[in-house]
Every structure is written in structure tokens, then in C-alpha cells.
């Protein structure tokens, strides 16, 4: 998934060069997230399958069969990202006709040495994670961010970790939800609308929380594109209107001394990571 390439990785024309399996005794999210990062290094298409919850020898054998069948059909070794912790199951999968990338053995074994303790062999399981403080914080943050989406309420804003502002469709909502879901950050968000620009003031009730406000802006042509998908041909989506709103929003943020960034070419993950760095909330501490 990268750019500046002649044949983009996701080109619908290119045939997948290789099949990839994400094998895990848990959700497979770790194997998949990590595998995607590694595969994104290659300008190739991959056919990808998740094999989660592989927690018995029978299921491990099924996984091996799928890997081997793929090898026979395609004539190339499938690539296998594995977070299997159980040694016996892991060994079984390792002996398949896949190229085995064992995330556990590679990193957990050296860490056991370094830390001088044995690992618990439960990777990805997260048993009873739902009882942990961190998990409860995440759920609470999701509820908070949902309740405070799009300026729905001014209640409990003192509990917010960050308050995002920006014009409609600048990326506030997905970013707020991502901050909550991934990092347990309580993120409220407020649209900046023409009425605010006419008054020349931030939406009511926000002033006292200015230190927590973070602005999102976006290039007018990109904004027009996004808004046109929603309401084609509307005044709302017209490039002149987008230019006006962005210009006013940026002036207001500048005037009020609000930190801000452009979301134009950034993914939700990148916007969220940038905001996190700026607001310096450090909630996670295990």
C-alpha cells in the first residue's frame, strides 16, 4: 500500500503474486497488523486469509492442510505470519509448505533471556482483558466520544482529553473514535460552521477549554471532493464555499492560538498519532 510506484500495490489489474495466511490462537489482529506492515514494503498484491482461534491440534492440522493445498495449487510457498504460542501447534504449522514467520519465537525467546523470567504463553488471548482498567477506559472513552460527536452536547467537557474542531468533513469523527478505541482517549468534536465564522467566535462553551482544543483542516479541493460524494452539486460541496470555510476556519484557529494540522493526505492513524504527540496525554502505563 505505498505510493510513487508505477504499478500501485492495489492495482485491480495486477494478479496477486502470493497467498498469505495470518495464523493465531487469538483474534489474529496482531499477526495481521504486523503482516500488513511487512507486506506493504513490497509493491505486490497478496491474497490474504485470516485463520484466527487456532487453539486445538485439530484446528492446527486444518490450517496446515489449507497452507499445503494452496502451495500445491499455486506452486509457490504461501507466506505464513504466525502468533501461535503453543509449541506443539506452532511446530506443526512450521512444518507446513509455507514460509513461516514466527512472531513469537523470534522475539519472546530473547526477551525471556533478557528479563530472566519465563513468558506466560498466552499471546493474543487477552483472557479477562475486559476486567482490566485499560479496557474499561477504552469502552468509557468510546461512549464519551460518541456522546460528544459533532458538538452534540457541552456536558462533561471537563472530562475530555481533547476537543477536535474543524469544518464539516475534515476528519473529526473518525479521528475521535479512533483515539477512543485505540488509545482510550476521550475525544469530543465540534464542527466549525458558517454561523461561527459570522460571529467570529469558537462555538459556545469551548473557550474555557481552549488548552484542550486541537484543530483539523483540509485542502479545499480535497474537501470539495469528499463533500461532493455526500451531496453532489450542492452549495455545501462547491469549491468556492469550501475555500471560504477553510479560510475562515484557519483564520479562527490562528487567531485563537489553537494548534492544528492538515488531514488532507493523512490516514486516521496518522492524524491520531500526531494529535497524541501534541496533546501529550499519556494514559497507558502498565
What DSSP line would sit under the chain, residue for residue? --SS-SS-TT-SSSPP-EEEEEE-SS-SHHHHHHHHHHHTTSSS-EEEEEE----SHHHHHHHHHHHHHHHHHHSSPPEEEE---SHHHHHHHHTSSSEEEEHHHHHHHHHHHHHTS---S-TTT-TTGGGSHHHHHHHHHHHHHHHTGGG---TTGGG-SEEEEESTTSSHHHHHHHHHHHH---EEEEE--HHHHHHTSPPTT-GGGGGGEEEEE--HHHHHHHHHHHSTT-TTT-HHHHHHHHHHHHHHHHHHT-EEEE-TT--HHHHHHHHHHHHT------
User: What binding mask, one character per residue, do residues 224-263 give for its own copies by CB under 8 A, x or -?
Assistant: ----------------------------------------
- CB-nearer residue toward its own copies: 92 or 181: 181
Shortest approach of its own copies to residue 110 CB, angstroms? 8
Q: Which stretch binds its own copies (CB under 8 A): 49-57, 202-210, 239-247, 250-258?
A: 49-57
How far is it, in rounded angstroms, from Cα 233 to Cα 224?
Answer: 10
Shortest approach of its own copies to residue 155 CB, angstroms? 15
User: What binding mask, one character per residue, do residues 60-99 give for its own copies by CB under 8 A, x or -?
Assistant: -----------------x-x---x-x-------------x
Q: Which stretch binds its own copies (CB under 8 A): 1-9, 62-70, 159-167, 253-261?
A: 1-9
Residue 58 binds its own copies, judged by CB under 8 A: no
Q: Which stretch binds its own copies (CB under 8 A): 66-74, 187-195, 198-206, 269-277?
A: 269-277
Assess contact for 180 and 134: CB atoms under 8 A. Answer: no
Positions 174 through 193 that interact with its own copies (CB under 8 A): 174, 177-178, 181-182
Shortest approach of its own copies to residue 224 CB, angstroms? 15
How far is it, in rounded angstroms, from Cα 253 to Cα 202?
Answer: 9
Residue 22 binds its own copies, judged by CB under 8 A: no
Q: How many residues sit in the footprint of its own copies (CB under 8 A)?
A: 93
Positions 104 through 163 that interact with its own copies (CB under 8 A): 104, 106-108, 110-111, 114-115, 117, 119-130, 132-135, 138-139, 142-143, 146, 149
Q: Which stretch binds its own copies (CB under 8 A): 103-111, 159-167, 185-193, 197-205?
A: 103-111
Burial class (CB in 10 A: 0-12, 13-18, 19+), 83: buried
Shortest approach of its own copies to residue 46 CB, angstroms? 6
- CB-nearer residue toward its own copies: 70 or 248: 70
Please identify which residue in 86, 173, 189, 217 interacts with its own copies, judged by CB under 8 A.
173
Amino acid at each position: 500500500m505505498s505510493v510513487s510506484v508505477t504499478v500501485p500495490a492495489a492495482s485491480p489489474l495486477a494478479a496477486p503474486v502470493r497467498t498469505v495466511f495470518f495464523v493465531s490462537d487469538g483474534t489474529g489482529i496482531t499477526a495481521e497488523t504486523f503482516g500488513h506492515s511487512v507486506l506493504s514494503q513490497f509493491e505486490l498484491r497478496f491474497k490474504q486469509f485470516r485463520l484466527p482461534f487456532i487453539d486445538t491440534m485439530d484446528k492446527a492440522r486444518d490450517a496446515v492442510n489449507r497452507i499445503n493445498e494452496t502451495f500445491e495449487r499455486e506452486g509457490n510457498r504461501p507466506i505464513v505470519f504466525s502468533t501461535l504460542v503453543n509449541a506443539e501447534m506452532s511446530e506443526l504449522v512450521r512444518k507446513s509448505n509455507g514460509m513461516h514467520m514466527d512472531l513469537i519465537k523470534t522475539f519472546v525467546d530473547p526477551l525471556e533471556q533478557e528479563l530472566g523470567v519465563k513468558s506466560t504463553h498466552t499471546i493474543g488471548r487477552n483472557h479477562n482483558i475486559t476486567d482490566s482498567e485499560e479496557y474499561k477506559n477504552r469502552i468509557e472513552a468510546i461512549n464519551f466520544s460518541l456522546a460528544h460527536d459533532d458538538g452534540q452536547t457541552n456536558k462533561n467537557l471537563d472530562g475530555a482529553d481533547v476537543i477536535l474542531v474543524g469544518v464539516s468533513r475534515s476528519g473529526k469523527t473518525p479521528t475521535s473514535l479512533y483515539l477512543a478505541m485505540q488509545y482510550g482517549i476521550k475525544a469530543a468534536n465540534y464542527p466549525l460552521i458558517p454561523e461561527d465564522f459570522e460571529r467570529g467566535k469558537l462555538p459556545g462553551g469551548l473557550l474555557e477549554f481552549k488548552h484542550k482544543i486541537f484543530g483539523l483542516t483540509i485542502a479545499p479541493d480535497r474537501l470539495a471532493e469528499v463533500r461532493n460524494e455526500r451531496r453532489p452539486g450542492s452549495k455545501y460541496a462547491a469549491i468556492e464555499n469550501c475555500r471560504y470555510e477553510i479560510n475562515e476556519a484557519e483564520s479562527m484557529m490562528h487567531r485563537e492560538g489553537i494548534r492544528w494540522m492538515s488531514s488532507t493526505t493523512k490516514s486516521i492513524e496518522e492524524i491520531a498519532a500526531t494529535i497524541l504527540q501534541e496533546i501529550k496525554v499519556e494514559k497507558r502505563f502498565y
